[in-house]
Amino acid sequence: MKFGWNPVSRHREVVMNRVKPVIEKRLKEKNVLGDNYKPYNDILEYYMNQPDFDHTKPNNLPYHVDNLFVMTFVSINTTSRAAVDALYDLAGRPEVLNELYEEALTIDKECNGLVTLTDVQKMVKLDSFVKESLRHAGNIINLAHYMISKSFTFSNGFTIPKGRKTILYFDDALKSKEYYGNDAEEFKPFQFVNANSPATKVDRSYIIFGGGKHACPGRFFAVNETKLFLHKFILKYKVSTKSGKIEEKLLIGPYTIPSRSGLVFENKVKNK
């Protein structure tokens, strides 16, 4: 990249060549159908509805394709991080692993190993565990926000100036005693089992995926993917920490990362 070569350029060209005909097709449908045009439910349609979108301008389409790349790699990273955090949360709690194994074994027998979305939805204990793992994932949202349009003053008089970048602290909500009881700081893996509160549900006490109309639309895929990975993993392996203890996350500035301590994986012995 130092000498002007960008390894992403080739992939960008591939995506642009695939995306451009799709955009032209949709624009044609809009012109023909007018008010009867039914918008597609995807991120490309979102970009096309932006006031500055003009695919005929040389720099416009590459900009939106780059945004697609960013969304793709960010989603891979966040889901992978959720899975790693969950593994460490499991590894230090053998009693939790045993209970989740019993649930996984029951579902595996029911579906004969061919897991469907319906089967994933039956994983209520695993869903609660994933939600609790996400609740303890960190104390700030990694996605920075900009005060672009105007300054904002809070009720306590604190003002964020226009143009200032902010990082949101959400541990006050995720560890709130009002919502999670006096032991809100504790890891309670099955507290959501009978609470009608799946890992994808957003509210004021659980803003891992944002909230309102800006809530992450990919949260359903991300949670189901994490659950499916853990389901298959729990059936096949027993995991524990090398130290035999619950490993705490590491802090780098305000950010958390998984422990660097080792995990021990053992194959489960199948009954003959």
Query: What tens digit of pLDDT does each residue of 132-182 get?
Result: 999 998 887 766 777 667 888 989 999 988 888 888 888 888 999 999 999
Q: How far is CA 34 from CA 30, 44, 45, in A?
A: 5, 19, 16
Q: What is the pLDDT of residue 100?
A: 97
Separation between Cα atoms, residue 38 and residue 142, nearest integer Å: 34
Prediction pTM value: 0.77
Residue showing tokens 């099955």: 190
Show the tokens assigned to 146: 């900009």
Q: What is the pLDDT of residue 271?
A: 54
DSSP 269: P
- Side-chain half-sphere CA neighbours of 113 within 13 A: 2
DSSP secondary structure code for residue 225 in this structure:
H
94-267: CATH topology: Cytochrome p450 (1.10.630)
pLDDT at 270: 63
- Residue positions forming the annotated binding site: 216
Mean pLDDT value across residues 88-93: 95
Binding-site annotation: residue ranges for heme: 216
pLDDT of residue 272: 43
List, for residues 19-63, the tens digit of each pLDDT value: 889 988 998 999 999 999 999 988 888 888 888 787 677 567 777
The chain-wide mean pLDDT, for the chain, equals: 88
The residue ranges of every structural domain in the chain are: 7-68, 94-267
Percent with pLDDT over 90 in the chain: 53
E-strand stretches of the chain: 145-146, 152-153, 159-160, 165-166, 237-241, 250-252, 255-257, 263-267
Say which residue, 70 or 242, is predicted with more confidence: 242
221: pLDDT strictly greater than 80: yes
For the segment 179-200, the average pLDDT, to the nearest whole number, is 94
